[in-house]
Amino acid sequence: MRPFHYRAPRSLDEALALLTPQAVPLAGGTDLFLKMERRQTQADTVVDLKRIPELGRIEAADGGVRIGALALMDSLGASSLIAGQYEALTRSARVVGSIQTRNRATLGGNLANASPAADTATPLMALGASAEAADATGTRQVPVDQLFLGPGRTALRDGELLTAVLVPALPARAGSAFQRCVRTAMDIALVNCAAFVRLDGDDPDTVAEARIALGAVGPTPLRTASAENCLTGARLDERVVEEAGECAASDAQPIDDVRAGADYRREMVRVLTRRAIWKAFRRARGEA
């Protein structure tokens, strides 16, 4: 690893002032230090965000929840503001790496690192969440499903920090679920899938709104519009869910790599999408 300068600002303003083009933000370091070791980043200054208290808070906001970018996976997985409501997000935070990883890894780092397999990305996309970005001139919001531009690339601009994730209020008769498959407990996902389902007020078997997101089967986490269209307005039964799984598999763009073949991944998209839809549906009906 090349030598670097270390800065540990105590406020967001101080951190933003330190973010020159030669500087890189540090959260838990579980991705960044690997990149530095492999010389995949040219930064000569590391700006440690961990001493900025407001970035780690998880709090109720506008009927939903505002999660500071520095919130740990462990805190997310244990948060009573999230569990029971945003089940897909709780499940994803609880399966990231090991206990040790979850005690270092942050939500903001998981998103800003922009791995196609990032486990919290798909639940946030399914839940309709937005990322809050700040620079010296102010803040803006980017829907999480527009945040990822490619492997390791996000819509964050130079000098911008991800400060929080805003998850909207969960509507009535809505539920979500997260599914993933891995080779070993410590591996990143071969495929992950998150589903959000909102049911019709008059007919509890009919889907009024659906969002389905897939991970590790494309250059970025992605929404599957055809699976969502297949569900929206439909009375949920085996045939409809089967069809949604097929649609998701055809929207997926998996590749062969050392961890799995494209055909296997596509098949797992079918399976995990079906499971996630049924689980989200049951939660929306209050049965889970």
Ligand X SMILES: Cc1cc2nc3c(=O)[nH]c(=O)nc-3n(C[C@H](O)[C@H](O)[C@H](O)COP(=O)(O)OP(=O)(O)OC[C@H]3O[C@@H](n4cnc5c(N)ncnc54)[C@H](O)[C@@H]3O)c2cc1C
Which residues would be at the binding site for ligand X (CB under 6 A)? 24-32, 49, 69, 96-97, 101, 104-106, 108-110, 112-113, 118-119, 156, 161-162, 186, 188
Sequence-separated (6 or more) residues with CB below 8 Å from residue 244: 212, 227, 230, 231, 273, 274, 277
Q: Which is nearer to ligand X, 167 or 207 (CB)?
A: 167
Q: How far is the CB of 123 from ligand X (least distance, A)?
A: 11
Q: How far is the CB of 192 from ligand X (least distance, A)?
A: 8
Q: Which is nearer to ligand X, 179 or 281 (CB)?
A: 179
Q: Which is nearer to ligand X, 166 or 230 (CB)?
A: 166
Give the whole-angstrom CA distance, residue 205 versus residue 197: 11
Q: Which is nearer to ligand X, 109 or 245 (CB)?
A: 109
Q: Which is nearer to ligand X, 109 or 128 (CB)?
A: 109
Q: How far is the CB of 23 from ligand X (least distance, A)?
A: 9
Q: How far is the CB of 17 from ligand X (least distance, A)?
A: 15
Q: Which is nearer to ligand X, 87 or 119 (CB)?
A: 119
Q: How far is the CB of 3 from ligand X (least distance, A)?
A: 18
Q: How far is the CB of 262 from ligand X (least distance, A)?
A: 21
Facing residues of 154 across strands?
Answer: 148
The residue number with the shortest CB distance to ligand X is 109
Sequence-separated (6 or more) residues with CB below 8 Å from residue 155: 142, 146, 147, 148, 149
